[in-house]
């Protein structure tokens, strides 16, 4: 008997036990890498992660506590508790075209919703187009399934003296969306740039994807965090224009709108034809979201509008404050974010944002996220989460200003020249 037969490759005695290649190739989050550099220090001002600055409102916590006290600690249906699906259906239908309960799947977080969607749609070798810069998970998750990811970058457009905005060129995107493309992944309002996809552009992209049978995976977790208007609004959504049977999956989460990052609760809206299979996938991933967490979700959706209004009002003040302060600093181009909770600014000559962010932690006690974490389109930029008090933001800006003034930037490894 040959050695090959005795020891199939995966059992070779001298081989290193390891994960699949596509898993080994996943990028490690460089935001984590920066944060790890600050471990053990309590003098850091952290603006690196995307979290609201306040704990979950009391009425949401109380709903979970009441549910636990009532003994609701058992498994729940795969696609979610009927009460939460009904509440989400009412909520979504009040903002968009009607969304039936049958098209809603409750998930254990937004990131889990993205993973389930990928498991449902992608086979190895599929081509997936992602608009970047974007939160790294949107690019890495399709790769776990063996999909080939192609990035279409947003560009910075100069509108008038000193004012610039992120912009998605429609022709560039449509050119990438060829009939062999399986899916388009898009996040608007966008993390990190705050870019909001305009409704007319959504209509063009939807028509194009319909024509070629391309799925749209739309991450709308920041849909309610929108600036420069009334605080209770919703960003343009593909749910405003799509038909029930369109190849559209919309991802959402309780994390940002209702300050529930630690609860791990999200949802998917998909065509009816996908729901049975999504239910099976949920069974084999987590089986269901906890019942008492879903009760908290019902409270958030039904009674959370005041919270949202206050949050958006506070974030708008923080955005305006930080925007004004950063614009005073030399060599910084700060586009005005229309939504989400980040300022994503470009620095003249910056070529290694990771090195700069590590230096900021080490030398200034300031925690920011490197633009390169959001794809090649983000290099040269830094992300600053402004979901924070004005006092803390001011302290952060002072540290940033002092850091920049102290170093000869041309000699700093992070900058060219």
Ligand X SMILES: Cc1ncc(COP(=O)(O)O)c(C=O)c1O
Q: Interface residues with ligand X (CB under 6 A)? A: 50, 109-111, 135, 187, 191, 219, 221, 253, 255, 261, 266
CB of 255 to ligand X, least distance (A): 3
Q: Which residue is nearest to ligand X (CB)?
A: 110
Token couple for 183 = 């899916």
Least CB distance from residue 180 to ligand X, whole Å? 26
Contact between 92 and 115 (Cβ < 8 Å): no
Closer CB to ligand X, 293 or 364, in the complex: 293
If the CB atoms of residues 92 and 111 are measured against ligand X, the closer one turns out to be 111
CB-side neighbour CA atoms (13 Å) of 322: 31
Minimum CB separation from ligand X for residue 123, in Å? Answer: 23
C-alpha 159/C-alpha 166 separation (Å) is 10
CA dihedral 232, 90, 77, 52 (to 10 degrees): 0
Nearer to ligand X, 113 or 347 (CB): 113
User: Which of 165, 188, 297 is CA-nearest to residue 240?
Assistant: 188
CB of 254 to ligand X, least distance (A): 7
Report the alpha-carbon distance of residue 46 to residue 39 in Å, rounded.
11
- For ligand X, which is the closer residue by CB, 111 or 293? 111
Least Å from the CB of residue 191 to ligand X? 4
Local structure of 137: helix, strand or coil: helix
Give 19's contacts (C-beta < 8 A, 6+ positions apart).
none
CB of 109 to ligand X, least distance (A): 4
User: What is the Cα–Cα distance from 315 to 101, expressed in whole angstroms?
Assistant: 31
In contact, 388 and 53? CB cutoff 8 Å: yes
How near is the Cβ of 106 to ligand X at its closest, in Å?
Answer: 12
Rank residues 231 and 297 by Cβ distance to ligand X and give the closer one. 297
Nearer to ligand X, 130 or 356 (CB): 130
Q: Measured from the CB atom, is 311 or 409 closer to ligand X? A: 311
Three-state SS for 112? helix
Q: Residue 385 CB, nearest distance to ligand X (Å)?
A: 10
**CA contacts within 13 A on the Cβ side of 95:** 18
Q: What is the Cα–Cα distance from 417 to 412, expressed in whole angstroms?
A: 9
Strands in 332-333's sheet, in edge-to-edge order, are: 332-333, 342-347, 381-385, 369-370
CB of 396 to ligand X, least distance (A): 20
Closer to ligand X by Cβ: residue 260 or 354 = 260
- DSSP-assigned letters across all residues of 215-269: EEEEE-TTTT-B-SS-SS-----GGGT--TTSSEEEEEESTTTTT-GGG--EEEE
Asked if 298 contacts 316 with a C-beta cutoff of 8 angstroms, the reply is no
Indicate the residue among 67 and 109 with the shorter CB distance to ligand X. Answer: 109
């Amino acid at each position: 008997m040959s050695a090959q037969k005795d020891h199939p490759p995966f059992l070779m005695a001298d081989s290193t036990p390891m994960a699949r290649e596509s898993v080994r190739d996943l990028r490690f989050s460089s935001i984590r890498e920066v944060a790890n550099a600050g471990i053990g220090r309590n003098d850091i001002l952290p603006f690196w992660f995307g979290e609201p600055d306040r704990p979950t409102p009391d009425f949401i916590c109380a709903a979970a506590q009441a549910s636990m006290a009532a003994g609701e600690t058992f498994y729940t249906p795969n696609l979610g508790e009927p009460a939460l699906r009904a509440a989400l259906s009412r909520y979504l239908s009040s903002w968009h075209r009607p969304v039936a309960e049958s098209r809603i799947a409750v998930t254990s977080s937004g990131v889990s919703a993205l993973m389930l969607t990928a498991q449902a749609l992608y086979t190895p070798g599929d081509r997936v187009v992602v608009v970047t810069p974007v939160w790294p998970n949107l690019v890495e998750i399709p790769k776990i399934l063996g999909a080939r990811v192609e990035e279409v970058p947003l560009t910075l457009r100069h509108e008038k003296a000193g004012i610039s905005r992120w912009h998605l060129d429609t022709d560039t995107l449509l050119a990438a969306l060829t009939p062999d493309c399986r899916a388009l992944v898009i996040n608007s309002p966008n993390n990190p740039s705050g870019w909001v996809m305009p409704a007319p552009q959504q209509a063009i992209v939807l028509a194009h994807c319909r024509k070629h049978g391309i799925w749209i995976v739309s991450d709308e977790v920041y849909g309610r965090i929108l600036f420069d208007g009334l605080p209770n609004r919703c960003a343009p959504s593909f749910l405003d224009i799509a038909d029930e049977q369109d190849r559209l999956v919309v991802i959402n989460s309780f994390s940002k709108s209702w300050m529930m990052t630690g609860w791990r609760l999200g949802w998917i809206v998909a065509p009816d034809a996908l729901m049975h299979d999504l239910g099976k996938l949920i069974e084999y991933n987590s089986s269901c979201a906890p019942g008492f967490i879903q009760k908290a979700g019902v409270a958030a959706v039904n009674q959370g509008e005041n919270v949202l209004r206050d949050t958006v009002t506070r974030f708008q003040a923080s955005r305006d404050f930080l925007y004004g302060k950063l614009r005073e600093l030399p060599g910084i181009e700060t586009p005005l974010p229309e939504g989400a909770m980040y300022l994503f600014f470009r620095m003249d000559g910056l070529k290694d944002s990771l090195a700069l962010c590590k230096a900021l932690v080490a030398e200034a006690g300031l925690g920011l996220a490197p633009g390169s974490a959001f794809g090649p389109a983000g290099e040269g930029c830094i992300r600053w989460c402004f979901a924070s008090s004005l006092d803390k933001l001011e302290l952060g800006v002072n540290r940033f200003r002092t850091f920049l003034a102290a170093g000869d930037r041309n000699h700093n490894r992070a900058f060219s020249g």
